[in-house]
Structure 1
């Protein structure tokens, strides 16, 4: 009787583990359909507003289960010189990992390229969702990546503290 119970517990634990893995890595993510115009936005130094950037080969995933699950890959003909003179640099870029099956996006390689100066990070859109910025990194050879990253205001508010004075007021429910 004890062996049957032990086997039942083991089988249940294995099934629960497999289900959790599947849900985290596959189930919640959906492909984002490209609209052809506003998929890659960069914040202009001149206007302070997000503007469409030139891009091709756009692929993206997102999930409703978290505001920071967005990941995208694309290519662009724009040079680092032109980009850095036109768009706002994002100083604290930290690429977030993506599921292994989304093979165009490698957070480790993107982070290393940023550290070595082979890629530059730009503000795509501030507060795309309250407290979350869209960050866009572009390598010297024109490969681009985008992800959502919690900003300074979001970190404070999401920890249950009141918004700092220089942050926008959080929406109801935060």
Structure 2
């Protein structure tokens, strides 16, 4: 009897821990981003290399302080892909990261497929928004836009503890 009771306690504890872990990964750390209405969506200009606010509506975003790559955003824009292609810095091989299932406006599979087949265009949002992390913005032909954070080449080296080449900006002291 004691063995069955002990086994039951262990199984129930494992189930409770699994549910707790699942909840923290999917829900607990994410918070909605409060839209400012002025500079929530920015893309880097080809001419200056500086981010500029673009026209957007219907902005919705989430972020988590537990990781710099948990940012996801959805919005719409009236700007055409052709105009943006001539104005903003493109990004090759952008790969959207999955969002929690409850943040249903951001479908990484759909965005990734649109980028691969050339329907969507990816642009540099803000380079090194946090050291080693770039904000990427992708625009679909229908004006739907998405933003997420990706680790850049310098970030990969820095996070792996490797020496940074001269082409990388210096790593901040506090990291």
Q: TM-score, normalised by structure 2?
A: 0.98
CA distance in 2, matches of 1:77, 1:173: 40
Aligned to 1:89: 90
The 5-angstrom pairing of residues 5-154 of structure 1 reads 5-154=6-155
Q: Residue 157 of structure 2: SS of its match in structure 1? A: helix
The size of the alignment, in residue pairs, is: 174
Q: Which aligned segments of 4 or more residues in structure 1 are displaced greater than 2 angstroms?
A: none
User: Shift in Å at residue 155 of structure 1?
Assistant: 0.4
Residue deviations 1:31-73, cap 9 Å, x none? 0011001000000001110000000000000000000000000
CA distance in 1, matches of 2:27, 2:167: 38
Ranges in structure 1 where 5+ consecutive residues have no aligned partner? none
Q: Residue 103 of structure 1: SS of its match in structure 2? A: coil
CA distance in 1, matches of 2:73, 2:148: 6
User: Shift in Å at residue 171 of structure 1?
Assistant: 1.1
Q: TM-score, normalised by structure 1?
A: 0.99
Ranges in structure 2 where 5+ consecutive residues have no aligned partner? none
Aligned to 1:161: 162
CA distance in 2, matches of 1:70, 1:46: 27
